[in-house]
Amino acid sequence: MPDAASLTLPERLYLLTYDAERNRFGASGERGALVRAAALTQLLAAGALKDEDGRVVAVPRARVTDPFLAQVLAEVAEHTGRPRRWQTWVGRRAGKANRQVRDALAGARWIRVEERTLLPARVTPRDPRAVRKLVDATRAVLRAPRLDTADRTDADALGLAAAARLRTVVSRAEAKQHKERLDAVTGPPAKGLRKAIDAQHAAAASG
């Protein structure tokens, strides 16, 4: 079984989009924004980013080792003089982000990627049970006696999954039932993710 402890938050959120009933990864239209928001969340938790009045600011001399996280941090740092909102960074280069995280998971042997000539690549988990364990750990935050007893990474993953409306993790009924708990674990990047997704859906609906 792959090592879940070695996963970055973007990699974990990619895996949480897996739909076991359909044996495929869902949320294809939002997955790039989702992994970008996860990267921003991990960088914020690590102290590499900070929120200033709803805008993202890179902390000077902050360093991270993961290539994807380092790339996102460098992008934000380039705009230190004119900081942008979380929603902007969530949506930036989302398609590329999706492929980068997918390829990292393939390299770590979490997933198989089957390239096809005229169709999108087919992506499947090597061990669906390992992915199920990630879902269960994330969902456990909903049932924790107190939020401060929950693992921080699990809580961040839940907030992002709820913001993206991942029904593989939080059902509609649970989203209503646990609204207060979900609001508490929804940080600035997750709020930016929700805005980005809503804006995307509104644009698609308007034609």
90-101 confidence digits (pLDDT tens):
999 989 999 999
Domain count, the chain: 1
163-186 confidence digits (pLDDT tens):
999 999 999 999 999 999 999 999
For 140, the token pair is: 């456990």
| pTM exceeds 0.85, yes or no | yes
For 129, the token pair is: 């049970």
Q: What is the mean pLDDT of residues 114-140?
A: 93
Do the domain assignments include residue 206?
A: no
Do the domain assignments include residue 207?
A: no
Do the domain assignments include residue 48?
A: yes
- Which CATH number fits the domain that encloses residue 50? 1.10.3630.10
Lowest mean pLDDT among 22-26, 72-76, 84-88, 199-203: 199-203
Contact 107, 86 (CB under 8 A): no
Do the domain assignments include residue 205?
A: no
| Domain region containing 170 | 4-200
Instruction: For Cα atoms 96, 169, 135, give the angle at the middle one, nearest 5 degrees.
Output: 85
Do the domain assignments include residue 70?
A: yes
